[in-house]
Amino acid sequence: MGDRLELQTELENILGSRNVYFQPPETIKMAYPCIIYSRATGDTQFANNKPYTFTVQYRILVVDKNPDSLIPKKVAALPTCIFDRHYVTNNLNHDVFNIYY
C-alpha cells in the first residue's frame, strides 16, 4: 500500500473534510464527523526465515452523531480494511476498523 500520509489523504477524501486526526492528544477539540486513526500492530512476512515485508496496521475510528452515516461504509470499502465493532458513547456513534496500509 502506501505511507501514513497517503492514508491521511485517502481518509480526508472519504470524509470530505480535514477532520482526520492521527493519534490526537487528549487536549485537542474535535469537530464531528471525524476520523481518528493510530498505529496498531504490523504484519511481517518471512522468506528463508528472514523478514521479507512488513506492513503497518492502523486502527481507524469513525465518529459521527448520525447513526445512519455513510462514512463507515466508505471506510469499509478500502482494500484490506476489516470492520471490528460499533459502539455509542456520549450520543456519538463509533465504528472501529483495522487496515493494513
Tens-digit pLDDT profile for residues 25-76: 999 999 999 999 999 999 999 999 999 999 999 999 999 999 999 999 999 9
Q: In total, how many domains does the chain have?
A: 1
> What is residue 8's DSSP assignment?
H
Global pTM? Answer: 0.91
What is the rounded CA–CA span in Å between residue 51 and residue 82? 24
Condensed to tens digits (0 to 9), the pLDDT of residues 81-90 reads 999 999 999 9
pLDDT confidence bin for 24, thresholds 50/70/90:
very high
Q: Residue 82's domain is classified under what CATH number?
A: 3.30.2000.30
Range of the domain at 23: 4-100
- On the question of pLDDT at 1 being above 90, the answer is no
Q: Which helix (H) or strand (E) holds 9?
A: helix 4-15
Nearest to 89 by CA among 63, 70, 60, 52: 63
What's the confidence (pLDDT) of residue 2?
74
Nearest to 100 by CA among 85, 82, 84, 80: 80
3-state DSSP assignment of residue 11: helix
